[in-house]
Structure 1
Amino acid sequence: MRFCIGGGWAVDALLGKQTREHSDLDIWLPAADLDPLIVAFSGVGIDRVLPWGGDRPWNFVLHDGGCLRVDLHLYEELSDGLIHYGSVLTGGRFTSADLGGVGHILGTVVRCETPQWALQCHTGYAPREVDFHDVAQLCTEFGLPLPETYRTSITGDDAG
């Protein structure tokens, strides 16, 4: 399967170490690869859909009935090298290179979001405490500019 680690685990993979606790594992996956992924996860007991207000056909959570959760982000690969994520009306597009990062989790090399895409994915919504942590880590480690939304809370001022 052609999957890519996203979210908080992508940040930690890029840093090469776990910096915080995680409530789930975000995975980017071509929609065409969903069936084999479901079979693989069912084999280890992660086979229930966790209902939540944000469920969409392209984004939902699988779980084991306990604490194991996988947040799936399904996308379509377009002929022009772009990726389409979301609905026809409100979806977005980005490049396959955005999912071309390389990181390490417990010494294993993993494909993950690039630092720039991981940072972009932490914008456009009201940040939580873990988002502030992840963004600070990304910006410090990779020399990325702090997004406007995060400037006041992380730096203590709003001058940027």
Structure 2
Amino acid sequence: MTAEDAVALLGRLSDHQVDVCVGGGWGVDALLKDQTREHSDLDVWAPAAQLERLFVALAKGGVDRVLPWPDDRPWNFVLHDGGRLRVDLHLYEPLPEGALHYGSAVDGVVFPAEALAGDGLIAGRAVRCEAAEWAVRWHTGYPPRAVDRHDVPLLCERFGIDLPGAFG
């Protein structure tokens, strides 16, 4: 997925009043304000209450098919266009005290809204993205992949974050 593809998808979501935050690899590159590698998808965080508008916005761009993955959940799944466009959705719910809830009612996670309050750039367009500390944290809950070994050290170096043990 090109930077232009990502920006077009984000523009379409914005046009439909979907309040998204960029995560994953594009979120890292947004924080770094430079594309440092190729990306196969665009990870976005969005309020679950805006799901209908999100579906409409993406469907107008042809991103209207579910790409089944073994770990799909109602709050995290991938939509695609049958070609190069893939959007990995992460749906959350705001809680009354200002935190965000992600996952099931039984064993979901609660995190501060500031985790999704980073500022970045993709192809010169300002985007909201994961905060650097949280982008690093979310890359550590599983064995690091090659893309994680690329992304995490760049974030740690740029933002003065200690490199997690799995990356040393």
Instruction: Tell me by how many angstroms 1:88 deviates.
Output: 1.6
Q: Which structure 1 residue ranges, 5 or more long, are not aligned?
A: 152-160
* 1:103 aligns to 2:120 (yes or no): yes
1:50 paired residue among 42, 67, 77: 67
Q: Distance in 2 between matches of 1:20 and 1:133?
A: 9
> What's 2:83 paired with?
66
Q: What is the root-mean-square deviation in Å for CA atoms of aligned residues?
A: 0.6
* 1:40 aligns to 2:57 (yes or no): yes
Instruction: Tell me by how many angstroms 1:65 deviates.
Output: 0.6
> What's 1:6 paired with?
23
SS of equivalent residue, structure 2 residue 49 = helix
Cα-to-partner distance string for 1:59-89 (whole Å, 9 max, x where unaligned) = 0000001121000000000001110000122
Bigger mean CA deviation after superposition, 81-90 or 69-78: 81-90
Cα-to-partner distance string for 1:69-118 (whole Å, 9 max, x where unaligned) = 00000000000111000012221110111100000001100000000010
1:79 paired residue among 69, 93, 96: 96
Query: TM-score, normalising length from structure 1?
Result: 0.93
Q: Distance in 1 between matches of 2:84 and 2:144?
A: 23
Cα-to-partner distance string for 1:1-55 (whole Å, 9 max, x where unaligned) = 1110001101100110100001100000000011101001100100000011011
Structure with greater helix percent:
2
SS of equivalent residue, structure 1 residue 79 = coil
Over the matched positions of the two proteins, sequence identity in percent amounts to 60
Query: TM-score, normalising length from structure 2?
Result: 0.88
Please list, as runs of the form range in 1=range in 2, the aligned pairs for 1:106-125 lying within 5 A after superposition: 106-125=123-142
* 1:150 aligns to 2:160 (yes or no): no
Runs of 4+ in 1 over 3 A off after TM superposition: none
